[in-house]
Amino acid sequence: MSTDPKYVPRSQVLPLDKALEVVDSLPGGGIILTKVEEVLNWGRAASIWPLTFGLACCAIEMMQAFATRFDMDRMGIIPRATPRQADCIIVAGRATIKIAPIVRRLWEQMPEPKYVISMGSCATCGGPFYYDNYSILKGIDQVIPVDVYVPGCPPRPEALIEGFLKLQDKIKKEPFLRRRITNAAAAQS
């Protein structure tokens, strides 16, 4: 049982027809008031489309997370094959110095707002390839800004799902519309 005072057990939530009755009885009936930004963020958080970009071992756990048993589709997380349709890039695995410019270009091709999940120790800090190594990048955050770090070598699919939940929390709190208006105003002046 949650200690949150706002917590309502699922059994106490009104069925939908009852809920509509309550809403209809309000003055101006049938209207739900909320912030535009909150509705947008709610929608955005429930449909994060990541780019299928696997580098190394973590990509296998990422595939497993998209596949049977873990099935991230149920949270609206559907992999896309092109950066133009993606909201989020999962850097799964170790990135070499040779691949770093390509990761950067993929990230630049993604439309705003965009997010980065760094999956596994290698993408986070170089991991087991930190010492005595001449070819691996010591953390993908040297190339692109990271929003969520998922630790593990490789992280379990559950860990990746937790990472996505953290990203959803972040998106829900984000003043993204406000920021966009401010940015547009700044660009005009």
Does 57 bind another protein (CB under 8 A)? Our answer is yes
Does 86 bind another protein (CB under 8 A)? Our answer is no
Does 67 bind another protein (CB under 8 A)? Our answer is yes
Q: CA 97 to CA 134: how far, in whole Å?
A: 9
- The CA angle 26-31-36, to the nearest 5 degrees, is 135
Which of 50, 139, 154, 163 is the binder for another protein (CB under 8 A)? 154
Does 153 bind another protein (CB under 8 A)? Our answer is yes
Binding segment for another protein among 8-16, 57-65, 163-171, 175-183 (CB under 8 A)? 57-65
Strand order in 88-92's β-sheet?
50-51, 88-92, 115-119, 148-150
The pair of structure tokens assigned to 121 is 């120790």
Binding letters toward another protein, positions 111-140, x by CB under 8 A:
-----------------xx-xxxxxx----
Question: Which has the closest alpha carbon to 104: 140, 155, 137?
Answer: 140
Q: SS3 of 128, please?
A: helix
Q: How far is the CB of 46 from another protein (least distance, A)?
A: 22
Nearer to another protein, 7 or 134 (CB): 134
Q: SS3 of 47, please?
A: coil
Q: How far is the CB of 43 from another protein (least distance, A)?
A: 26
The pair of structure tokens assigned to 69 is 């048993």
Nearer to another protein, 7 or 131 (CB): 131
Binding segment for another protein among 21-29, 50-58, 160-168, 180-188 (CB under 8 A)? 50-58
Indicate the angle between helix axes 57-66 and 157-172, nearest 10 degrees.
70
CB atoms under 10 Å from CB of 92, counted, come to 30
Interface with another protein by CB under 8 A: which residues? Answer: 52-57, 59-61, 63-64, 67-69, 81, 93-94, 96, 98-99, 102, 106, 128-129, 131-136, 153-154, 156
